[in-house]
Chain A
Amino acid sequence: MAAPFTRVYRPFWRIITTTKSNRGVRNVSYTSQQWSAQNVKTAGAASPWALHGAVCVQRLPVVTQDRSPIEEEFMELMQKMEFERSLLADHELKLLDDAALMSRKQEGDYDSDEEDDYRDKDIVTAQDLEDIWEQKLKDFQPALRSQGNDQKDASSSERCLADSLILLVKKDVGSQKLWLLPQIQWQMGETLRQTAERALASLPGADLKATFLGNAPCGFYKYKYPKDIQKEGSVGAKVFFFKAVLSSHKHLPLEKNSFAWVKKDELQDFLKPEYLKQVRRFIMAL
């Protein structure tokens, strides 16, 4: 009975039933008055909860993350220590030999016949090879690590390439438009995973292919309908989330207002607090 009710007096039986309904209720703009009229039906052949299947599509990182300062320092230290403890490689030996040969050639009494390994190979020295390799590296232009559009366009899937992004959709729920993970109502005769796949396929204007990771849901969220919508049989809805990994990477532009690819720390700007609390548990952004 730790619920923050404003009304102090309530009949005893209502106190018992409302304590049961406190778990997992979404705190949207509903006031506390509606809770007094709710009756939680525990018995019954048909369950009073409507089932929904939702999908959590992740675009996994395309590019490695930047190193934190301590990681940078440690990497430098490790490279230095390895270099100090190593032996000279063939290439380095060749460099030293070439340098020695050059210094011998500079001297006045140089006789090329005294050289042991004098062969035509000397024309290309190790230093020349190094220069050739550096030139080749400069000729190659890699793609940029960050496109620079991180903050502006939330609906592009080419956003933060170093993080994993989740797809959110804006949907009408009751009288409001809310940002949610894509979900759809469960139909008789299909498993919840098929519901989730249908939810992904039925998104308007988005051709996304994803691999679902297993048959089991990764999380759930349940909420009650507001008093006026509640009928005899339905009390609320349970949403089961399924994880999927985006497989095809078509850069089709999605509608800005209805789709968003967000990182885990940006989720709080989009989702409602109760919903966010359940969703954060299974999204791992390591």
Chain B
Amino acid sequence: RSPESGPSGAAGWGAAVADSRAAPWHHRPVSLASLAQRTRFSRQELQLMYRGFKNDCPSGLVHRAAFREIFSQFFPLGDASAYADLVFDSFDPGGRGCLTFEIVIQGLSVICKGSSEEKLDWAFRLYDTDRDGFISKREMVQLVSAIYDMLGDSVWPRVHPCDAQLHAEKIFDAMDRDGDGAVTFQEFVLACRRDRDLDTELDCFDTLL
């Protein structure tokens, strides 16, 4: 529904216009009022976020490479590109390779201001990269490795190559009650709620703007 004004005018862009799956070069979001209505952010928060967004991505679109770079700035010691890719994919189900402001805000509205179930649902989609409804051991390992990558070298105790694998397997085995090699959403939620105060922990990631 978001209007995508494709390239127009210049002759060199002619071929690109014809291709409907070509990546758009510029994007203007919907009005502030409608976005404030649709999401759980207030007008001020939206304004603040859009100003920052527009500053870093003047074209209104975030491409995968740009997103990776932005994300890496928060984890300067390690390599955050793997995790950034996972997050990017979780926001971009269509696989178009770029995110618009609305997509980002709508996703954030769920993650930041949603209920614990919604947050866990997003987390599940983050883990489940192939979207088959189950988390396999491979996917778990992939995610945990991505998290460990963000640490970098200057940590104590040192990170061994097999640490991520062991950690992932431990968690997976704990989650996978029936031992069928795949974790469903219910198993996931149960495992998360068990012996931790999930709601408080999930809330601690709220950012005040």
Partners in one complex: no
